[in-house]
Amino acid sequence: MKTTNLFGAIMLLLAAFNLVSCEKDDEVNISQLEGKWSVTNDDPRLAVDGSVQYTFNADKSCSIYSYDALSNRDTAVNRRYVISIDNRLITIYKEDDTYTEQYHIRKLTSKEMKWENASPKDGNSDKRLVKVKE
C-alpha cells in the first residue's frame, strides 16, 4: 500500500515538472505578433532560392510577400488571420474566407517565432520566422 502511494506521488511530481518545463520552452507572447516576419532556414544542407515575408497588422489583416530567385518573380497577396482563444493557433484566410494555412504557434518573442503545421495534408510546412527590423 505504501509503495503504491509513493509511486503515485512520484508520478504526479514528474508530471508537474514536465508541464512546467514545457511552458518555459514554449514562450508565446501574442502581443509581439504585429510587424514584419521573414521565414528563415537553419538547415545548411537545404538551398534556398527565394524568400517569404509575412506582415501582420493590428486589424487582423496580413500580407504575404514571396520572391522566387530562380524565376526572378515576386508575389504579394493579402490575407486575414485569426488567433485562437489560447493564443496558440493561427489560421490564415483569403479575403473570400477560404482557408489557406494553419499553424500551432510554438514560440513567439520579440525576435523569433516558430510555427508547426496544424494541417499536414495542406502542403505547408513548419516555419521559423525572425522579426524584420524596419
Mean pLDDT by 10 residues, the chain (134 residues): 53 51 68 96 70 96 93 94 97 94 96 94 90 89
Helices (H), 26-73: none
| pLDDT score of 24 | 47
Q: Give the whole-angstrom CA distance, residue 20 versus residue 50.
A: 39
Whose grid coordinates read 504526479? Answer: 12
Cell 508541464, located at residue? 19
C-alpha cell recorded at residue 94: 483569403
Domain ranges of the chain: 27-131
The pLDDT assigned to 5 comes to: 56
In sequence order, what are the residues at sequence separation of 6 or more whose Cβ sits closer than 8 angstroms to the Cβ of residue 130?
Answer: 37, 38, 40, 111, 112, 113
Decide if domain 27-131 falls under CATH 1.20.1250.20. no
Enumerate the H helices of 26-110 as residue ranges. none
Place of cell 509511486: 7
Identify the pLDDT of residue 4: 55
pLDDT at 94: 95
Minimal CA–CA distance to 101: which of 112, 91, 86, 114?
A: 91
Helix, strand, or coil (residue 14):
helix
Flag whether the pTM goes above 0.85: no
What's the residue count for the chain?
Answer: 134
